[in-house]
Amino acid sequence: MVRVGIVGGTGYTGAELLRILACHPEASLAVITSRTDAGMPVAEMFPHLRGRVDLTFSPPDTPALSECDLVFFATPNGTAMEAVPGLLTRGVRVIDLAADFRLKDPDLWQTWYGLPHACPELLEEAVYGLPELHREAIRAARLVANPGCYPTAVTLGFKPLLAEGVIDPGWLIADVKSGVSGAGRKATTGLLMAEVGESFKAYSVMGHRHAPEIEQNLSTYAEAPLRLTFVPHLLPMIRGIEATLYARLQRRDVELDELYRRHYANEPFVDPMPGGSHPDTRSVRGANLCRLTAVSPRNSDVVIVQSVIDNLVKGAAGQAVQNMNLMFGLEERLGLDALALLP
Amino acid sequence: MVRVGIVGGTGYTGAELLRILACHPEASLAVITSRTDAGMPVAEMFPHLRGRVDLTFSPPDTPALSECDLVFFATPNGTAMEAVPGLLTRGVRVIDLAADFRLKDPDLWQTWYGLPHACPELLEEAVYGLPELHREAIRAARLVANPGCYPTAVTLGFKPLLAEGVIDPGWLIADVKSGVSGAGRKATTGLLMAEVGESFKAYSVMGHRHAPEIEQNLSTYAEAPLRLTFVPHLLPMIRGIEATLYARLQRRDVELDELYRRHYANEPFVDPMPGGSHPDTRSVRGANLCRLTAVSPRNSDVVIVQSVIDNLVKGAAGQAVQNMNLMFGLEERLGLDALALLP
Amino acid sequence: MVRVGIVGGTGYTGAELLRILACHPEASLAVITSRTDAGMPVAEMFPHLRGRVDLTFSPPDTPALSECDLVFFATPNGTAMEAVPGLLTRGVRVIDLAADFRLKDPDLWQTWYGLPHACPELLEEAVYGLPELHREAIRAARLVANPGCYPTAVTLGFKPLLAEGVIDPGWLIADVKSGVSGAGRKATTGLLMAEVGESFKAYSVMGHRHAPEIEQNLSTYAEAPLRLTFVPHLLPMIRGIEATLYARLQRRDVELDELYRRHYANEPFVDPMPGGSHPDTRSVRGANLCRLTAVSPRNSDVVIVQSVIDNLVKGAAGQAVQNMNLMFGLEERLGLDALALLP
Amino acid sequence: MVRVGIVGGTGYTGAELLRILACHPEASLAVITSRTDAGMPVAEMFPHLRGRVDLTFSPPDTPALSECDLVFFATPNGTAMEAVPGLLTRGVRVIDLAADFRLKDPDLWQTWYGLPHACPELLEEAVYGLPELHREAIRAARLVANPGCYPTAVTLGFKPLLAEGVIDPGWLIADVKSGVSGAGRKATTGLLMAEVGESFKAYSVMGHRHAPEIEQNLSTYAEAPLRLTFVPHLLPMIRGIEATLYARLQRRDVELDELYRRHYANEPFVDPMPGGSHPDTRSVRGANLCRLTAVSPRNSDVVIVQSVIDNLVKGAAGQAVQNMNLMFGLEERLGLDALALLP
């Protein structure tokens, strides 16, 4: 039984971790902290957990964290990096669901996140927690950087094409769309239902923090410098990411369906669908799963990839639990076998 | 291991049964039929079941049904009553999720459902499958009539008040609201997203089939003739029922919170919340659970009950599996412990 | 040409006033204020007004307000009452869209709004701006209290029945539902799309500020003390209110359709629909209109009224412009003839 | 006063034409036909038109059409081409909102629409009704082919870049997203709210009928063969199209804001927004307007265009009325000055 703590449990990522861990047969939830809501029963804030999660939010400085085998950080960017070194020293392993340990280059991190990194010496050690790329390293890791939601969908989508030299790395386009839960549970006018309901728009067209993370992931597989155009959009719905990816074919001797099936043949949480499919986000709602498909329309030298995940599950909390399973020698699927909720 | 068949698996109730049964440790899904889609793989119609449900729809006359321990009917009203007698004769137990066996009076059934009942002799034997009312009878039943969605929410809401004579049975009002999945998966103009999205209305104000079902349930507990006004409404969302119930207090010596806690103390799937709560439908989305609360505003002789369920789970497929567990001597919660999906 | 000012133009009510007034042929928008956003062009905050409204938000103390013929207050409750006396003294007429002048009794106001009234001497003079009740008084008024959204829908629904003694005033139930724009444009966690989308709940079950307002309206028409149970609910959509009203018939010699048609025969903005109709909120979206209908199901002594409005139009800004038209001798429909936007 | 008829008025395009024409000061609606609903009052099908449109649907063969100055076809593809020659012969001018006259090449039409064209001799004469491209020809036209919704958004977005040789015509990508009203008012399982609500997906990835229409529009402005990748997506909302367009810059000496402002300087219904803007669909909901903006992120050779319209207004009925105004010498904005409905 893994003894687990959560730091910062009042956002959607924290709530989703609670939902998954409450049903996990080999995890025991020992402590959850909140700076603002310490003292409040968790089930009062999240009524869906009534009767199933009996914890009360603790203050962030609770010594109970040090007694955990594993601590998840579900905090805003810039918080985990202050506390992680201390926990590691005390032998606690860590999965950070924020961005603090995702980029290897501290200068790049500072450029995109606006403050100096507090423990750059840990960046090299931190393992990027996308099991489809780094499964073995995750098993042994003390510190896992759980990937961003967009990077999960985009990286899994482009990787087989780049790894086999099928596409030109110099002209990649990722047109991605996310439900509003991806923006978190902050009181912000721009996220009110009366603002984002029944409407659609792009945002951060001039640059988004997830672009360098994707570039870092994919550069490993590219034979030439990677050039990515990444445009996120906000969907009038709660959960789900769809990424439509465009690239130029530089080899035409490839059967795309076969390529994706082969690449993901042993992956429990990636479902390559046949060409001509149109994966929809609801088919992965609540499930730890990426469904994807790639096609090249007739007479075209463009390949189009569609990739869908639930941003809170395979894009955050589910992937974090998948990483926990790997780190503690558990069956990778444990606690993650829920089917998507459809309709 | 219970060997299970499903008749009519292409609607939302059938899909939800599949979702729940696919994760149930003591049920094995043997056959699923569809008149219109025989031959199609289930996972082609319902992409969320890809990789988890390998069945193909069989024609309705498949002999495989007779080899099941239990057959669920997820068919339109009037279908099950044609096939159930034959199955019972062959020793197959049946849970009907449609309305065929819900009303005890065949004339009343004909009035509301527009055709003569095909096997009125079974109406007396059929057990109304609301475990909170008829748990022991369900355990022994050959034939269970799974309750309607509205009747589940309304019956559980009013029952404690009527059973203890707290309210006047002659003036009950149920203002109920349902997500669109309650109307089924029929190609109908009136259920298009462009028709029902971003809008709200009442329907069937002059009379709805669920009213006599609720009256039948509650009359048992009423000391005087029951008079119920029942108005359903259509919500611009997919899953969830909320019932706001109004009645006149005829006793003032009752502590409402205590009454509900006591009545549902041993119920695994009813959660009485403290007075002043506002249960929301998302807190039960995907979960087999009814959350409810009752209050009487200051200086008022009116009691207001709020009751929420997921219409496809506690209002249909989840309740059916709860009944299956009871009928086959399994732990009542088996396969039904998923937490609600929130947000 | 009426010279118009708006105080507090950054909420939805203010934005809707701008939308309507920008197309009004006899109103000229002179000034709009905002405490927090003074200096920002209006069209920057509200992109739908780009190219049509060239104003910039002024600070609240701008002398330009005194030069207006009419000032609308679209401010939080408790703001208008501080500034209105000064404007009236300078000959400016006022329509307050908040609650400051709706209740005649200053003690009742303080009970529900939590602070002492700043100018109780104006409460008697203020005219309650529901034209269907007080058209002539509105024409002559210096100060109009624009009704609340729920009170508009409920008052218009119950009034014909009470005025003719058809129902028992001692047992009125109003089960009302509102889109989220009714809660305003405040940065609040509870109004995020990820919180209120795809969910439904009641709120303020123990008491809501609009109840005393409705009671004040209806008491005039009741032969006996009025007892109203009022339960508001939050709909997962943006615009629209539906009120389902229940009352006990005390006369059975009334033809309900005829009664409503007669009562509202000369009303340009009330549409009585035939019994058996189910008015939906989208049929009034964006329109200054209340559609309603009343029926009594067979063998029942209950009458059920359905009443729908757009909370921002007939429930706020549209009604305010209707009042402006009356106050300045303009045709009552001027600027208010837009059809509902459907789908 | 233009005497107007509508053929096929029971879809969303027909309903939107009715909404706009009912408020148009120089159009008088003489007749509206429906094959399936002849005899039904229009306001019974479309409750938002109650009290404002008194017509009853006529059968399609009504002679009243021949007495009109102008007939709009709001019919499925393939219907108008059967009836248009007869009407033209009788001196009636025609605007077809379907696709029958959009493509100049009858073979290409047959390839995409699956049947031979009934009057290929009219294809050359028909004027493609995008006023921003063909204003003068529209004024004189007997027969106008009203553009598709996607082609309107995409053509207006790419045209300035192509016309000035700024981008490489050989690598254009259009990632477009539409609300469900774009799919029409057909009873189809795939458009039920329970299917498309709270979900998102691409469709027609292998090819969509609007691609050849866009290519026909843009080829005029391209110096080299045009190669367009066009992927449509279905949004969980009712109205609105957003197109995100990607192209490779071949000239870097261009100030994009200036380019768009200059190109659309005299266009009443195109609003070029400053670079860095993120136009949202709600800012044009119900309005006859295309808002767009183009940027090139730092150090990138890609230009990103965002273009939004209401698919039923600038993408269909509003554009048709704009064409009518041009054809009959009316002020182009007449009847089209409604502001967007926001929120």
B121-146: pLDDT as tens digits: 999 999 999 999 999 999 999 999 99
The 3-state DSSP class for residue D183 equals helix
Q: What percent of chain A stands above pLDDT 90?
A: 99
**Chain C residues near residue A237 by CB distance under 8 angstroms:** 197
Any chains having at least 3 CB pairs less than 8 A from chain A are B, C, D
**Chain B residues near residue D196 by CB distance under 8 angstroms:** 193
Please say if the pLDDT value at position A293 is more than 90.
yes
Q: If you compute the radius of gyration of chain C from its CA atoms, what whole number of angstroms results?
A: 20
Q: Are D320 and D70 in contact (CB under 8 A)?
A: no
What is the arithmetic mean of pLDDT over C209-215?
Answer: 97
Gap from C184 CA to chain D (nearest CA, Å): 11
Contact A171 D173 (CB under 8 A): no
Residues 6+ apart with CB under 8 A from C139: C326, C327, C329
Please say if the pLDDT value at position A299 is more than 90.
no
Q: Residue C182 carries which DSSP code? A: G
Q: Are B68 and B4 in contact (CB under 8 A)?
A: yes
Q: Tell me which residues of chain C have a C-beta less than 8 Å from any C-beta of chain D.
A: 12, 15, 19, 22-23, 46-52, 181, 197-198, 238-239, 271, 273, 279-280, 282-287, 291, 337-343
Q: Are B242 and B281 in contact (CB under 8 A)?
A: yes
Please say if the pLDDT value at position D9 is more than 90.
no
D242, D261, D267, D339: best mutation site toward chain C, by most C Cβ within 10 Å? D339
Q: How far is CA C281 from CA B174, B275, C308, D42, D49, in A?
A: 21, 31, 6, 18, 13
B54, B273, B341: best mutation site toward chain A, by most A Cβ within 10 Å? B341
SS3 content of chain D, % helix, strand, coil (to 5): 35, 20, 45
- List residues of C with catalytic annotation: 149
Strand D270-272 relative to strand C70-73: parallel, antiparallel, unpaired? unpaired
What is the arithmetic mean of pLDDT over C16-38?
Answer: 96
Any chains having at least 3 CB pairs less than 8 A from chain B are A, C, D
Instruction: Write phi, then psi, for A221 (nearest 5 degrees).
Output: -100, 0
Please say if the pLDDT value at position D69 is more than 90.
yes
Which residue on chain B is closest to A279 by alpha carbon? B47
- List residues of D with catalytic annotation: 149
Q: Residue C190 carries which DSSP code? A: G
Q: Are A166 and A296 in contact (CB under 8 A)?
A: no
Q: Residue A268 carries which DSSP code? A: T
Any chains having at least 3 CB pairs less than 8 A from chain C are A, B, D
**Chain D residues near residue C308 by CB distance under 8 angstroms:** none
Instruction: Write phi, then psi, for D313 (nearest 5 degrees).
Output: -110, -90
Across the A:D interface, residue pairs with CB atoms under 8 Å apart total 139
Gap from A10 CA to chain C (nearest CA, Å): 11
Average pLDDT of chain D, as a whole number = 97
Please say if the pLDDT value at position C247 is more than 90.
yes
Q: How confident is the model at residue A238 (pLDDT cuts 50, 70, 90)?
A: very high
How much is the pLDDT for D55?
95
Instruction: Write phi, then psi, for D243 (nearest 5 degrees).
Output: -115, 125
Any chains having at least 3 CB pairs less than 8 A from chain D are A, B, C
Q: What percent of chain D stands above pLDDT 70?
A: 100
Q: Are C2 and C28 in contact (CB under 8 A)?
A: yes
Which residue on chain B is closest to D312 by alpha carbon? B194
In the numeric block, the tokens 């409204």 are attached to C53
What is the arithmetic mean of pLDDT over A95-104?
Answer: 98
Which residue on chain A is closest to B193 by alpha carbon? A198
D150-310 has the same fold as D2-125: no
User: What confidence tens digit (pLDDT) does each residue in C64-82 have?
Assistant: 999 999 999 999 999 999 9
Cα–Cα distance between D174 and D157 in angstroms, integer? 10
Using CB atoms within 10 A of its CB, is residue D161 exposed (0-12), middle (13-18) or buried (19+)?
Answer: buried
Contact A236 C193 (CB under 8 A): yes
The domain C2-125 is placed in CATH, from the list 3.40.50.300, 3.40.50.970, 3.40.50.720, 3.20.20.80, at 3.40.50.720
Average pLDDT of chain A, as a whole number = 97
The tokens describing D182, both together, are: 């774009």
Using CB atoms within 10 A of its CB, is residue B140 exposed (0-12), middle (13-18) or buried (19+)?
Answer: exposed
Contact C175 B244 (CB under 8 A): yes
Contact A302 D173 (CB under 8 A): yes
How much is the pLDDT for A9?
87
The 3-state DSSP class for residue D216 equals helix
How much is the pLDDT for C82?
97
- List residues of B with catalytic annotation: 149
How much is the pLDDT for C9?
87
Give the DSSP per-residue string, C142-153.
SEEEPPPHHHHH
Residues 6+ apart with CB under 8 A from B4: B21, B27, B28, B29, B30, B68, B69, B70, B71, B72, B324
Domain A150-311 has CATH 3.30.360.10: yes
**Chain C residues near residue D291 by CB distance under 8 angstroms:** 47, 50
Give the DSSP per-residue string, D54-114.
--BPBPTT-GGGGG-SEEEE---TTTHHHHHHHHHHTT-EEEE-SSTTT-S-HHHHHHHHS
**Chain D residues near residue A311 by CB distance under 8 angstroms:** none
Across the A:C interface, residue pairs with CB atoms under 8 Å apart total 62
Q: How confident is the model at residue D298 (pLDDT cuts 50, 70, 90)?
A: confident
Q: How confident is the model at residue A298 (pLDDT cuts 50, 70, 90)?
A: confident
Strand B290-295 relative to strand B270-272: parallel, antiparallel, unpaired? parallel
Q: Are B127 and B145 in contact (CB under 8 A)?
A: yes
Cα–Cα distance between A333 and C227 in angstroms, integer? 58
Domain boundaries, chain D: 2-125, 150-310
CB atoms within 10 A of CB A207: 13
Q: Residue B41 carries which DSSP code? A: B
Name residue D112's amino acid. Answer: W
Q: Residue A49 carries which DSSP code? A: G
User: What confidence tens digit (pLDDT) does each residue in A121-169 have?
Assistant: 999 999 999 999 999 999 999 999 999 999 999 999 999 999 999 999 9
How much is the pLDDT for B298?
82
What is the arithmetic mean of pLDDT over D162-176?
Answer: 97
Which residue on chain B is closest to A24 by alpha carbon? B338
How much is the pLDDT for D293?
98
Which residue on chain D is closest to B188 by alpha carbon? D187
Gap from C140 CA to chain D (nearest CA, Å): 30
Cα–Cα distance between C160 and C148 in angstroms, integer? 19
The tokens describing B1, both together, are: 């291991």
Please say if the pLDDT value at position A107 is more than 90.
yes
Q: Tell me which residues of chain A have a C-beta less than 8 Å from any C-beta of chain C.
A: 12, 179-181, 185-189, 191-198, 236-238
How much is the pLDDT for B9?
87
Q: How confident is the model at residue B299 (pLDDT cuts 50, 70, 90)?
A: confident
**B277-286 CB burial, b ≥16 within 10 A, e <16:** bbbbbbbbbb
Which residue on chain A is closest to C184 by alpha carbon? A194
How much is the pLDDT for D310?
98
In the numeric block, the tokens 């039960």 are attached to B284
**Chain D residues near residue C29 by CB distance under 8 angstroms:** none
Instruction: Write phi, then psi, for C127 (nearest 5 degrees).
Output: -100, 130
Across the C:D interface, residue pairs with CB atoms under 8 Å apart total 80
Which residue stretches of chain B are H helix? 12-22, 42-45, 80-89, 106-113, 131-140, 149-163, 193-196, 210-219, 256-263, 318-327
Q: Are B145 and B100 in contact (CB under 8 A)?
A: yes
The tokens describing D73, both together, are: 């076809």
Please say if the pLDDT value at position D50 is more than 90.
yes
**Chain C residues near residue D19 by CB distance under 8 angstroms:** 339, 341-342
In the numeric block, the tokens 């025609």 are attached to D94
Q: Are A289 and A340 in contact (CB under 8 A)?
A: yes
Cα–Cα distance between C70 and A171 in angstroms, integer? 59
Class of domain D150-310: alpha beta
Cα–Cα distance between A293 and A260 in angstroms, integer? 8
User: What confidence tens digit (pLDDT) does each residue in B142-186 have?
Assistant: 999 999 999 999 999 999 999 999 999 999 999 999 999 999 999
The 3-state DSSP class for residue A200 equals coil
